[in-house]
Amino acid sequence: MDFDLIYQTYFRDVYLYVCSLSADGHIAEEITQEAFVRALKSLDRFDGRKDIRAWLFTIAKNTYYTHCRRQKLFRESGPQAELPDPQPDLTERLADQETAFRIHQYLHQMKEPYKEVFSLRVFGELPFEKIAALFGRSPGWARVVFYRAKVQIREYMMEVLRDE
Residues 82-134 have pLDDT tens digits of 545 445 555 554 446 777 778 778 888 889 999 889 888 887 788 899 889 88
For residues 68 and 131, membership in a common domain is answered with: no
User: Cα angle vertex 51, ends 50, 56, to 5°?
Assistant: 110
In a domain, 84, yes or no: no
Given 55, 77, 99, which residue is the final one in a domain? Answer: 77
For residues 73 and 100, membership in a common domain is answered with: no
Please report how the helices 114-122 and 97-109 are oriented relative to each other, as an axis angle in degrees rounded to 10. 140
- CATH number of the domain that 156 lies in? 1.10.10.10
Say which DSSP state 81 is in.
Answer: -
- CATH number of the domain that 48 lies in? 1.10.1740.10
Whole-model pTM?
A: 0.45
In a domain, 83, yes or no: no
In a domain, 48, yes or no: yes
For residues 125 and 63, membership in a common domain is answered with: no
pLDDT digits (tens, 9 = 90+) for 39-79: 888 877 777 777 788 888 888 888 988 888 887 755 555 55
In a domain, 111, yes or no: yes
Q: How far apart are CA 14 and CA 29, in angstroms?
A: 9
Q: What is the extent of the structural domain holding 150? A: 90-163
Residue 63 in contact with residue 31, Cβ under 8 Å?
A: yes
Count of domains in the chain?
2
Residue 149 in contact with residue 117, Cβ under 8 Å?
A: yes
Q: How far apart are CA 139 and CA 117, in angstroms?
A: 11
For residues 55 and 114, membership in a common domain is answered with: no
pLDDT at 160: 80
Quote the radius of gyration of the chain (alpha carbons, Å). Answer: 25
Cβ neighbour number for residue 12 with a 10 Å cutoff: 10
Is residue 137 very low, low, confident or very high in pLDDT (cuts 50, 70, 90)? Answer: very high
